[in-house]
Amino acid sequence: MNPRVRGRGGASRGVQVRAQVAGSSWTVPSGKCAGAGRRRAYRIERTTYDADWRSAKAELADAEAQLANAQTNADRMHALVADHAVARRKVDNADAQLKQARAAVEKHAAAVDRARKNLDDTVVRAEIAAGWAGRVLDVGTRVTGPGDVLTAIDVVDPIYVSFRPSAQQQLRCGGIPARTGVAAGGSASVQALFPDGTPFPVAGQIGFVDPVVDPQTGTQQFRAQFANRDRLMLPGQFVRVQVRGLVRDSAIVVPSAPCSNRWAGKWSTWSARETRWPHGR
């Protein structure tokens, strides 16, 4: 694909960081490289969630105390009923209270887990490898939950470049053999040039080819992947793309000297026969 085609850079991976709980947001590394997994991106005001967690733990402790009392009472009733000292109905009531106490403990334990999760969710972390973080919400903005995007993180190493050559351009560049060369994982390499003509320092490889031609534009989408350790190219940046390394099978190479396009704009070649007079073809 010798003609240069316009392409556009895109992140190889991106994620929207969202809050899971409501509250005022604090601390965001805007425009900085977010670390992998454990780097804090935002923090939600946690006073209320810490109080809810401590309250849930206190209620669980109270339920556990009631369970211990119910267990003791049930054991006592079972010992007395063996001597026919109490009615069977009292034993049944003690067993029912014991089951209720156990259920209450499970309920409050779940409340503790829920409160602890909400408290942990006040720290919002980037869960992908190092990327570029752009601020979406200002620090101090009150968020309401998952519906609010706090920030977006894009991975730019490697970076993708998408370009859309027309079907006619592909045919002019070698037809079916060229299509084989530019297939995903093929032998062709991709050269990207910045708007001022400066070439990108490393060549890319095609990793995705749309299997169909867009019927509205007559183009086919290709996506190349480039190593971008120095972050010279950013998502959304426009470049010129040139595919190199395409070979046309069964082609005849003709030197440029005997070629001419003077006749009606068509290329023709001249050769000398045994008569030494030139003949056009």
Q: pLDDT digit string (tens) for 50-71?
A: 999 999 999 999 999 999 999 9
Calculate mean pLDDT across residues 274-281.
50
pLDDT tens figures, 176-199: 445 555 666 667 888 999 989 899
Q: At 256, is the pLDDT very low, low, confident or very high (cuts 50, 70, 90)?
A: low
Q: How far apart are CA 222 and CA 2, in angstroms?
A: 15
In the chain, where the domains are located? 1-45+133-254, 50-121
Q: pTM of the entire structure?
A: 0.60
Identical fold between 1-45+133-254 and 50-121:
no
CATH class as words, domain 1-45+133-254: mainly beta
pLDDT at residue 1 in the model? 47
CATH class as words, domain 50-121: mainly alpha
